[in-house]
């Protein structure tokens, strides 16, 4: 019951002025409506730093580990993603159950995702790119940090891919 | 120091996985941010090359937290590579080592296979396909799917969203097909 309340607050849609951002992706979006000075964002830099260290130390960003995963030669990747998801599920459940607020006192909002065919077509294409480059977007940034400067080209190519998607979006099946 | 030695080793999945999962509540509690990295690519497009495309016409300044987050990833990787690393070669499954031998991949000194991903190989067909075409597919596919491994597989599944489960399964199917059927052809080039 409590979780319903959080998800279906009608105010969420009304106050959202960035409809285009929301229309197909409900994820990776800033849910906060509080305006802060730029230096408040430095805490996300620290969160990213923590995540970046984890990506390297878990070796989940290694092309070798990705090949092991897709060839079913190692449990490592499945273990990392599986335990990360379980931890995430428990965390989100606790947040909903105890109505945890942000450090600014805002209620935490989580949005349901809408299904569209893009999750299938796009998912398959991304899977192919993941197997080829051995990296998803987070790891691309981390790999640049390891000193593999040529990955900058891979990242720029990913930006180009995102741009081309934006350009063709109306013509693609969703 | 025993502890320091341990930190410098690769971390086992049962340590790293739960810590990665904790990024989800960390970002939510820090300020209602849903975990996801691929949207940073969209914000870069919106900030640098919007070209009047509706998909990139939104207030990206409101999402700068995501760009701080990815900058943090780069810095974290620099720290981990330079100061939390014991310099040992990456230990992969012997079967994979054997498989990769036939493609002239012998160097396991770095987390990135140096034999494949380097500047000169960008100009070869193999390197171009792996880096430029592969990167393009990552950017195009994640945006088309509405998220990547972090946004769908970790954040979406944490919130028990079935569309994210569909997306995650498609990531895996696409990866299995490519790694086992298409990649051997590319690596032979």
Contact across the interface for A53 and B176, Cβ inside 8 Å = no
For residue A26, pLDDT beyond 90: no
What pLDDT sits at residue A109? 86
Across chain B, mean pLDDT equals: 94
CB pairs under 8 A between A and B: 553
Q: Which residues of A touch B134 (CB under 8 A)?
A: 128-129, 132-133, 154, 157
Minimal Cβ distance to A148: which of B63, B79, B112:
B112
* Residue from A82, A119, A155, A168 to probe the interface with B (highest B Cβ count within 10 Å): A119
Per the CB < 8 A criterion, the answer to whether A15 and A33 are in contact is yes
What pLDDT sits at residue B135? 97
Going from the C-alpha of A91 to that of each of A32, A85, A166, B54, B185, the distances in angstroms are 19, 10, 33, 35, 42
Lowest mean pLDDT of A36-40, A64-68, A93-97, B174-178, name the range: A36-40
For residue A23, pLDDT beyond 70: no
Domain boundaries, chain A: 2-25+36-171
Q: Which residues of A touch B174 (CB under 8 A)?
A: 123-128, 130-131
Q: Give the C-alpha separation, A20 to A23, whole Å.
A: 5
What pLDDT sits at residue B152? 94
Give B141-165 pLDDT, tens digit per residue: 999 999 999 999 999 999 999 999 9
């Amino acid at each position: 019951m409590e979780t319903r309340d959080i998800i279906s607050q009608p105010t969420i849609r009304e106050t959202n002025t960035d409809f285009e951002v929301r229309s197909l992706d409900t994820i990776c979006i800033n849910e906060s409506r509080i305006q802060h000075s730029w230096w408040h964002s430095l805490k996300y830099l620290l969160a990213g730093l923590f995540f970046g260290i984890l990506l390297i130390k878990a070796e989940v960003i290694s092309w070798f580990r990705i090949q092991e995963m897709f060839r079913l030669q190692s449990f490592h990747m499945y273990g990392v993603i599986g335990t990360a998801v379980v931890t995430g599920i428990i965390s989100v459940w606790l947040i909903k159950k105890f109505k945890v607020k942000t450090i600014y006192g805002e209620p935490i909002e989580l949005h349901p995702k809408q299904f569209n065919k893009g999750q299938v077509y796009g998912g398959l294409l991304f899977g192919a790119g993941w197997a080829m480059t051995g990296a998803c977007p987070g790891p691309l940034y981390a790999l640049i940090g390891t000193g593999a400067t040529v990955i900058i080209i891979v990242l720029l190519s990913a930006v180009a891919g995102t741009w081309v998607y934006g350009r063709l979006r109306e013509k693609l099946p969703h | 120091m025993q502890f320091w030695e341990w930190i410098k080793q690769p971390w086992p999945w049962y340590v790293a996985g739960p810590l990665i999962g904790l990024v989800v509540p960390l970002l939510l509690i820090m300020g209602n941010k849903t975990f996801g990295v691929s949207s940073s690519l969209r914000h870069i497009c919106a900030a640098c090359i919007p070209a009047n495309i509706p998909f990139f016409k939104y207030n990206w300044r409101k999402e700068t937290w995501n760009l701080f987050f990815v900058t943090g990833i780069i810095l974290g990787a620099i720290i981990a590579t330079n100061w939390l690393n014991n310099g040992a070669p990456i230990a992969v499954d012997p079967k994979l080592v054997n498989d990769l031998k036939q493609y002239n991949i012998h160097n396991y000194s770095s987390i990135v296979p140096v034999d494949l991903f380097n500047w000169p190989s960008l100009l070869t067909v193999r390197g171009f396909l792996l880096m430029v075409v592969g990167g393009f597919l990552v950017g195009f596919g994640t945006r088309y799917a509405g998220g990547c491994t972090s946004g769908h597989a970790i954040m979406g599944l944490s919130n028990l969203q079935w569309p994210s489960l569909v997306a995650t399964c498609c990531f895996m199917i696409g990866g299995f097909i490519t790694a086992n059927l298409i990649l051997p052809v590319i690596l032979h080039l």
